[in-house]
Amino acid sequence: DLGSSTDILCHMMPFYSYDIPHTCGPDPKICCQFDFKRLPGGRVSCPWRVPPEPIHAGNVQHRAWIILDQYRKKSKLFRTKVLLAPLGDDFRYAESSEWDQQYQNYQKLFDYMNSRPEWHIKAQFGTLSDYFEALHKESNLGEKSSNSFFPVLSGDFFTYADRDHHYWSGYFTSRPFYKHLDRVLESYIRAAEILYSLALVQTSKSEKISVFPSVDNYKLLTEARRNLGLFQHHDAITGTAKDWVVVDYGTRLFHSIMNLKKVIIDSAHLLILKDKSAYSYDTATPFLKMDDVQASQDSLPHKTVIKLTLQPRYLLIYNPTEQERFSVVSVNVNSPRVKLLSPLGKPVTVQINAVWDGATTVSHEAYQISFVAHLPPLGIGVYQLLEDESSEAVLADYNIYVRNSRQERPDRVFKIKEMQHSLDNIILENAYMKLWFSGMSGLLEKINTKKDGKKHQMKVEFAWYGTTSNRDKSGAYLFLPDGDAKPYIFTDPPTVRVANGKIFSEVVCFFHHVTHTMRLYKVQGLEGQSLEVSNIVDIRGEYNRELAMRISSDINSQNRFYTDLNGYQIQPRLTMSKLPLQANIYPMTTMTYIQDVGVRLTLHSAQSLGTASLKNGQLEVIMDRRLMQDDNRGLGQGVQDNKITANVFRLLLERRHGTDVNEEKAPVSFPSLLSHMTSLFLNHPVIPMTVNADSGVPELINTFSPLMSSMPCDMHIVNLRTIQAKVDTKPSDEAALILHRKGFDCRFSNRDIGLLCSTTQGKIKVHKLFSMFRVESLTPTSLSLMHSPPDVRNVSEINMNSMEINTFRIRLR
């Protein structure tokens, strides 16, 4: 927002803390004497060793004068004569006696002050609204705009330090397992909300579908929303809660993921039946099942194995994004003799990959098949899987670099070669790029973009941070490193496994603390243009150490890098050498990038972590931290409950056009459309489901395609969420359609990048939205749905400005 229409008037506390000793004025020793919960005989006292005194006629003049002196000194720091003195703290006002102590003593002080006109003070209790109303009156904000009277600051307040060099950049990474689980739940909840809303409309079309569990599933959705909302708490997603509280949060997230899978299955079941009246609801044997299972709240999910027969089995793929997409889908089956038919009944090219038990052993219990699914926006493609002796599936072949290689490694299905580590590079390539990896470590070294033939250095490495030897050490909140990171050193080169296939190729490196995979999809369009990076991190045996992944490139980024704020906008960051290392770490929610006049390198992330660019051309992200002590910010413990954690990223290298030097210093920056779409696909993966072998299979439609076409490229359906009925916990016949129009940098070329959408200047014709449903009404409302404009009318065209989010009430038939 380059104008001032969304400016927010803020109050800034000037001293060390928000507690009473640090909010009445500059001297905590005096202010503490006016926290009347600390009266002698109570459970809390003043650390400055001067206790409060109860106020009575004999001391009121002296005590009022003392606190008034603090108020006056504090007021000199503000532009108006209106002063706020907060009176509270964490865990306060828990019993009635404290209310009486604070209220009665302060009321005596106020009454006395207000009775002395020559003191020039009016003191009273009030709410925040009272404070801001008085402030508006005092500064005549009505007549002239607030920003001529108060200074305007743009940007954010990262990275925070409350004292000394104690920067709060540790919590950007703490408990990364749950930061990732949070995003998994977030994508499931959106996927379930949308599919449920569409299924609900379907039930209203026919009396026969009364068995659809709309009320039960609405309760599950509501509970999942609440659990996800709860986890956004500043001690939850941050990773700063006690171990047993973390388990409670994790259990809530985990149960909600399982419940949402049920909602998705029930809704998809109804939507893909050819004859809707054939819908039957059986909790014992659901019609569909998901293709992955998570055993507990702190374990990673694993794929289920689909049993093939000569009879085709239905494989449903649900695309929860509002864009048509070509996505690589991988599922596990029990036989390599596999045939796959598309929704139109045509054979689909399949790559068969080994399922590995560790780094070098092939498990023949299962085989992974990968194929490119072509899916409609918010739709479901119905594929068919069967066992077929004349299978034309293409096997991936493997080269394994190990210390003591046995050359040929006989396997009854796959071609597997063992070899010594070598100084020669490992090379992967697709239509867009060619990648060079080290033959010793298996780590990426260079990228060549084919369109311009340019070769870029792109060195991936891992590094350890320790913690300082001073008394104050890193903990859940604080990052206090013992200097620069030290390279991750391995005495023996890691086992490196290289897979080559028709759909994708990959390099997997098995280090002691991290299994690192770089996968290149050999597909046209979006998925072939970025590199999938995943790290399975395990630092459970470490002591006061943090593990980082670092990418060093030849991009001339000049101390400037960019991180997103909650996935909504991009904030330029400046790495400052005068600040300590921990001050230059910033939070990344969905992406971080560096650039020069010719290229931009973006690291897209499927989880929030701390990130930095400490040297020219470098990006790094901290993946996990294990700390043995408390850092005195209220948690009372270290972080030692580490899990085996999955971190998933996409690395995107783009050419920049028409950039000038001044613009590099601009206060705003935007991702390209390709970058937005890459982030969308990373955070909202497709959801495969199979029809249960035990269900008698009725006829299915081959594609469920609810939208007329893809949404405009810059329009994102944040949610299509059924609104609760006014009286009970049942669903109503209305839904909230929440749209976000993204801002993007249009100087990145959109030609030949395979986007299957166009942009429409933020306009959408309502009757052109849905193909299978009719929009009965669509009315604008406030973001929270609480307020409708007084002249609210049905709209036939949605028209949104860039960077805005709008909510509509929608009724579909």
Look at residue 199 and give its three-state secondary structure: helix
561 and 633 fall within a common domain: yes
Last residue in a domain, options 149, 182, 197:
149
Give the separation between CA 422 and CA 444, rounded to whole angstroms.
Answer: 15
Q: What whole-number percentage of the chain has pLDDT above 90?
A: 86
Q: What pLDDT, on the 0 to 100 scale, is given for residue 149?
A: 83
Residue 598 lies in a domain: yes
Of 140-149, 166-175, 659-668, 714-723, give the lowest mean pLDDT range.
140-149
408 and 541 fall within a common domain: yes
Q: What pLDDT, on the 0 to 100 scale, is given for residue 121?
A: 97
Name the helix (H) or strand (E) containing 368.
strand 361-375
Of 168-182, 330-344, 613-627, 652-666, give the lowest mean pLDDT range.
652-666
How many domains would you assign to the chain?
3
Q: Which residues pair with 599 in a beta bridge?
A: 655
Question: Is the model's pLDDT at 115 over the cut of 90?
Answer: yes
Query: SS in 3 state form for 448-475?
Result: EECCCCEEEEEEEEEEEECCCCCCCCCC
Question: Is the model's pLDDT at 210 over the cut of 70?
Answer: yes
Determine how many CB atoms are found less than 10 A away from the CB of residue 98. 17
Tell me the torsion sign for CA atoms 221, 226, 232, 237.
Answer: negative
Of 539-553, 559-573, 662-676, 769-783, give the lowest mean pLDDT range.
662-676
Q: What is the mean pLDDT of residues 99-120?
A: 98
Residue 752 lies in a domain: yes
* 131 vs 698, more confident: 131
410 and 551 fall within a common domain: yes
Q: What pLDDT, on the 0 to 100 scale, is given for residue 695?
A: 63
User: What CATH number is attached to the domain comprising 571?
Assistant: 2.70.98.30
406 and 467 fall within a common domain: yes
Give the separation between CA 736 and CA 187, rounded to whole angstroms.
Answer: 17
pTM confidence score = 0.95
Question: Is the model's pLDDT at 74 over the cut of 70?
Answer: yes
Spatial neighbors of 232 by CB under 8 A, at least 6 apart, are none
Question: Is the model's pLDDT at 205 over the cut of 60?
Answer: yes
Question: Is the model's pLDDT at 378 over the cut of 60?
Answer: yes
Q: What pLDDT, on the 0 to 100 scale, is given for residue 285?
A: 87
Look at residue 68 and give its three-state secondary structure: helix
422 and 550 fall within a common domain: yes
Query: SS in 3 state form for 210-264?
Result: HHCCHHHHHHHHHHHHHHHHHHCCCCCCCCCCCHHHHHHHHHHHHHHHHHHHHHH
Chain segment 451-506, per-residue pLDDT in tens: 999 999 999 999 999 999 999 999 999 999 999 999 999 888 999 999 999 999 99
Q: Cβ distance 528 to 431 under 8 Å?
A: yes
Q: Cβ distance 550 to 657 under 8 Å?
A: no
Chain segment 390-446, per-residue pLDDT in tens: 888 999 999 999 987 766 678 999 999 999 999 899 999 999 999 999 999 999 999
Q: What pLDDT, on the 0 to 100 scale, is given for residue 778?
A: 96
Q: Residue 90's domain spans which residues?
A: 20-149
Residue 652 lies in a domain: yes
Question: Is the model's pLDDT at 144 over the cut of 60?
Answer: no
CA dihedral 688, 694, 696, 701 (to 10 degrees): 0
Look at residue 778 and give its three-state secondary structure: strand
522 and 576 fall within a common domain: yes
Last residue in a domain, options 130, 149, 168:
149
Q: Cβ distance 21 to 31 under 8 Å?
A: yes
649 and 723 fall within a common domain: no
Instruction: Quickly count helices (H) and strands (E) in the chain.
Output: 9, 39
User: What CATH number is attached to the domain comprising 769?
Assistant: 2.60.40.1360
State the pLDDT confidence band at 297, using cuts at 50, 70 and 90.
very high
Q: What is the mean pLDDT of residues 155-160?
A: 92
580 and 725 fall within a common domain: no
Question: Is the model's pLDDT at 143 over the cut of 60?
Answer: no
105 and 35 fall within a common domain: yes
Amino acid letter, 780: P
Query: Rounded to the nearest 5 degrees, what angle is found at the Cα of 154, between the Cα atoms of 151 and 160?
Result: 100
653 and 780 fall within a common domain: no
Distance, C-alpha 338 to centroid of its chain:
36
Q: What pLDDT, on the 0 to 100 scale, is given for residue 408?
A: 65
668 and 762 fall within a common domain: no
CA dihedral 582, 586, 590, 591 (to 10 degrees): -90
Of 173-182, 207-216, 623-632, give the lowest mean pLDDT range.
207-216
Question: Is the model's pLDDT at 180 over the cut of 90?
Answer: yes
State the pLDDT confidence band at 693, using cuts at 50, 70 and 90.
confident
Q: What pLDDT, on the 0 to 100 scale, is given for residue 141?
A: 63
Helices within 527-632 (DSSP H only): none
* 146 vs 345, more confident: 345
State the pLDDT confidence band at 142, using cuts at 50, 70 and 90.
low
Question: Is the model's pLDDT at 146 over the cut of 60?
Answer: no
Q: What pLDDT, on the 0 to 100 scale, is given for residue 145?
A: 55
426 and 491 fall within a common domain: yes
Indicate the average pLDDT of the chain: 95
Q: What pLDDT, on the 0 to 100 scale, is given for residue 438?
A: 97
Q: What is the mean pLDDT of residues 528-538?
A: 98
Q: What pLDDT, on the 0 to 100 scale, is given for residue 208?
A: 67
Tell me the torsion sign for CA atoms 275, 276, 278, 279.
Answer: positive
Q: What is the mean pLDDT of residues 52-76?
A: 98
Residue 113 lies in a domain: yes
Last residue in a domain, options 683, 704, 724:
683
Chain segment 14-47, per-residue pLDDT in tens: 999 999 999 999 999 999 999 999 999 999 999 9
Q: What pLDDT, on the 0 to 100 scale, is given for residue 4?
A: 80
Residue 79 lies in a domain: yes
Residue 722 lies in a domain: yes
Pairing of strands 426-429, 325-333: unpaired
Residue 622 lies in a domain: yes
Q: What pLDDT, on the 0 to 100 scale, is given for residue 694?
A: 67
Q: What whole-number percentage of the chain has pLDDT above 70?
A: 98
Residue 642 lies in a domain: yes
Q: Cβ distance 720 to 736 under 8 Å?
A: yes
Q: Cβ distance 575 to 559 under 8 Å?
A: yes
